[in-house]
Amino acid sequence: MPIYAPNKRINPTIKRRGHTRKTVFASLFLTSMVDMFAILVIFLLQAFSSEGEIIVLPSGIELPKAINTGTLERVASVMISKDEITFEGKSVAKTKDYLNGKQEWEIRPLQDALREFKQNLEAQALANREVDPAAAMDLQKINISADRRLPYEIVRKVLNNVSYEGFPAFSFAVFPASKKKDATKTEE
């Protein structure tokens, strides 16, 4: 295969000045570069979450899926796994102790932790002189993350204890499920 000598200019954007000097000036295609940076900025804005992580799930908890979902607020959280019940990241009780053996609804360690947390929040609100009704309502909210494989009995007990201690407004942490149309056809 023969070798051909290149033309005078390989790329029309490269300009050579003079025959004695070997300096090369290359101009950049700014349109392509601006497009590239625009795509990067849009990607980073889409990937960035200004809400942050509200609930950090430990390993072993599988959240249920739900069609009707909303956004969680940054409030106190109770997590129920198959091994333990945690409040604000601290283990307060073992799930197996309150699952089948005991029929009572009280989970005393959880109640104590909730009561102490609410007293601390009320003390902080009084220190800041916040008497706003909306701020008082935030003191009564809580997020609940329960493993989907748990029996409802333990979830019901936790809900009873949470509402008994003054947190009647609660939200469940769930994964959003896709809204698929029923693909089954009815035959006539």
Could you report the per-residue pLDDT of 139-170, keeping only the tens digit for each?
678 888 888 888 888 888 888 888 888 888 88
Alpha-carbon distance 149 to 32, whole Å?
Answer: 51
Instruction: Please write the tens of the pLDDT for every residue from 89-113.
Output: 888 988 888 877 556 788 889 889 9
Q: What is the DSSP letter of 176?
A: E
DSSP 8-state code for residue 172: E
Is pTM, for the whole model, over 0.85? no
Domain-wise residue ranges, the chain? 14-46, 65-176
Q: Which of 129, 125, 105, 128 is nearest to 117 (CA)?
A: 125
Residue 33 contacts residue 41 (beta carbons within 8 Å) = no
For residue 118, the surrounding DSSP H or E stretch is helix 108-127
Cα–Cα distance measured from residue 121 to residue 125, given in angstroms and rounded to the nearest whole number: 6
Statement: residue 17 has pLDDT above 80: no
CB 118 within 8 A of CB 165: yes
Q: C-alpha distances in angstroms, 44 versus 36, 54, 88, 94?
A: 12, 20, 31, 41
Q: What is the DSSP letter of 154?
A: H
